[in-house]
Amino acid sequence: MTNNTKKKAVILLSGGIDSYTTAAMAINDRFQVCAISFDYGQRHKYELGSAKKVAEFLGIRNHLTIKLDLRQIGGSALTDNIEVPKNQPLENIGNEIPVTYVPARNTIFLSIALGYAETVGASHIFIGANAVDYSGYPDCRPKYLEAFEKMANLATKATVEGSQINISAPLLNMSKSEIIQKGQKLGLDYSLTISCYDPPENGQACGNCESCLLRKKGFIEAGIKDPTNYFNTSEKN
Amino acid sequence: MTNNTKKKAVILLSGGIDSYTTAAMAINDRFQVCAISFDYGQRHKYELGSAKKVAEFLGIRNHLTIKLDLRQIGGSALTDNIEVPKNQPLENIGNEIPVTYVPARNTIFLSIALGYAETVGASHIFIGANAVDYSGYPDCRPKYLEAFEKMANLATKATVEGSQINISAPLLNMSKSEIIQKGQKLGLDYSLTISCYDPPENGQACGNCESCLLRKKGFIEAGIKDPTNYFNTSEKN
């Protein structure tokens, strides 16, 4: 199949495990992939370096980074002067929507991806949303993603003219360990990724935020060595 | 009613007639209004000056301007190297989606407004969308706005916790002349606004793009003098 006949997809690429694995799965499914990342004023801007590395690893040539300062809106530990919680009991994660929730973030990112998909002629938008080992964000839930897809199919010139846009979240019902195992089968190098919400200045991972805790748990449960460079080496699994 | 007990609304404010009138109607309906404008790489960036003027006129204290370069996505005469059509027959406007359509623009703007609404505690987002005297954009149609509202009510922490978010488009079924007449009753000064998609360097209106043509028609049909400063004075109504 040549590039001209391949189905096109836009991937939301953060630089973490989930979006990297999602992108690899889309490529494995023979999609021609364009990636989009967001420099949105996030505390963990280091992730943009990881997004660049994983795009290169996967051979993604079209990788757009959109600058959008969500600190102007705030309301989150990731974009405002609110402390990132540390060392929570794992069983509490996902029970309540935490302060790391960024107001309307997935809606904003998917909307911009929708515009990008239209200009490149993509039929699919892939998002690494997960509703198992996740923080409890409302905009990762299946019913939210379904509603976004319905809206998107009424929003654009392309859809009025008969195209369909599909919101694909292949990790939705997978645990973090299943995601990591899937990525290992696809030959991914997770040392390129960063999940940490509150990385120390040197770009290592803190090891204690909810995102680091879920990542550690995933590697342990997958029985795969965690390649993460944690700030405090005693925090390594 | 004090400010503390007033319902809050976020208004998408472009600097044109429709959003100005919408904002005035919301204020008239006793909403406490926050405005949001977008510096998105539009050809007609002059509209941001008008947005500032109308916000001041209406006494809106919270007015956020979000910078987001949609030229990175392109695909529109407003954000790309595509010529803005001029002097079309009025009866043709709205029959086909024109090249001034910006991919997913209202979805992107409403999504960012959704995040802003959540942080300020607003129950309503007002948009000056119109499906009568308009360019035929898909993201101005009632069924699109309804689908966005449904999605929005699944997207945020606020809605999970029981709040409702309403997408209000009070101009949806009004003609441009009815909108102008409504604004005049509310004491608005339309000389503060600009509608032109392709303003000459001096910030006047071109008089010939679809947006200028619809504006001119609106003032003529309303029987109200058009205060617009057109580039070529022979183009005045």
| Total beta-carbon pairs less than 8 A apart between chain A and chain B | 145
CB atoms within 10 A of CB A147: 22
pLDDT score, position B4: 59
CA of B203 vs chain A CAs: smallest distance (Å): 27
Nearest CA-CA partner of A38 in A106, A100, A101, A84: A106
pLDDT score, position A136: 85
Select from B73, B114, B150 the residue whose CB has the most chain A CBs within 10 Å, as the one to mutate to test that interface. B73
Average pLDDT, chain A: 93
pLDDT score, position A132: 83
Nearest CA-CA partner of B157 in A92, A136, A176, A19: A136
- Please, which pLDDT band fits residue A236 given cuts at 50, 70 and 90? very low
Interface touch B151/A160, C-beta < 8 Å: no
CB atoms within 10 A of CB B15: 23
Query: What percentage of chain B exceeds 70 in pLDDT?
Result: 96
According to DSSP, the residues that pair with B11 across neighbouring strands are B35, B126
Q: What is the distance between the alpha carbons of residues B34 and A127, in angstroms, rounded to a whole number?
A: 31
List helix spans (H) across A121-222. 142-155, 157-160, 176-185, 210-222
Question: What is the mean pLDDT of the segment spanning B105-111?
Answer: 98
Question: What is the set of domains in chain B, with CATH numbers?
Answer: 8-235 (3.40.50.620)
Chain A residue with the nearest C-alpha to that of B160: A138
Point out the residue among B73, B144, B160 whose CB comes nearest to the CB of A116: B73
Give B11's DSSP letter. Answer: E
What is the per-residue pLDDT across A84-127, written as a single tens digit (0 to 9) for each?
999 988 888 878 899 999 999 999 999 999 999 999 999 999 99
What is the per-residue pLDDT across A21-78, written as a single tens digit (0 to 9) for each?
999 999 999 999 999 999 999 999 999 999 999 999 999 999 999 999 999 999 999 9
Point out the residue among B97, B112, B119 whose CB comes nearest to the CB of A108: B112
State the maximum Cα–Cα separation within chain A, in Å, rounded to a whole number. Answer: 57
Q: What is the distance between the alpha carbons of residues B41 and B39, in angstroms, rounded to a whole number?
A: 6
pLDDT score, position A4: 60
Interface touch A138/B159, C-beta < 8 Å: yes
Q: What ipTM was estimated for this complex?
A: 0.94
Q: What is the distance between the alpha carbons of residues B237 and B220, in angstroms, rounded to a whole number?
A: 7
Question: What is the mean pLDDT of the segment spanning B132-144?
Answer: 88
Phi, psi values for residue B167, rounded to 5°: -95, 115
Average pLDDT, chain B: 93
Interface touch B115/A75, C-beta < 8 Å: yes
Q: What is the distance between the alpha carbons of residues B75 and B35, in angstroms, rounded to a whole number?
A: 27
Chain B CB contacts of A70 under 8 Å are: 115
pLDDT score, position B158: 95
Could you tell me how far CA A29 lies from the centroid of its own chain? Answer: 18
Residues 109-128 of A with CB under 8 A from B: 110-112, 114-116, 118-119
Chain A contact for B220 (CB, 8 A cutoff): no
Lookup: tokens for A137: 């964000």
Is B1 a residue whose pLDDT tops 80?
no
Interface touch A102/B116, C-beta < 8 Å: no
Return the higher-pLDDT residue of A1 and B144.
B144
What is the per-residue pLDDT across A163-212, written as a single tens digit (0 to 9) for each?
999 999 999 999 999 999 999 999 999 999 999 999 987 779 999 999 99
pLDDT score, position A96: 86
Is A129 a residue whose pLDDT tops 60?
yes
Q: What is the distance between the alpha carbons of residues A65 and B23, in angstroms, rounded to a whole number?
A: 33
Chain A CB contacts of B138 under 8 Å are: 154-157, 159-160
What is the per-residue pLDDT across B32-69, written as a single tens digit (0 to 9) for each?
999 999 999 999 999 999 999 999 999 999 999 999 99
CA of B104 vs chain A CAs: smallest distance (Å): 5
Q: What is the distance between the alpha carbons of residues B122 and B104, in angstroms, rounded to a whole number?
A: 23
Chain B contact for A184 (CB, 8 A cutoff): no
pLDDT score, position B90: 85
Chain B contact for A96 (CB, 8 A cutoff): no
Chain A contact for B163 (CB, 8 A cutoff): no
Is B3 a residue whose pLDDT tops 60?
no
What is the per-residue pLDDT across A152-166, written as a single tens digit (0 to 9) for each?
999 999 999 999 999
pLDDT score, position A2: 53
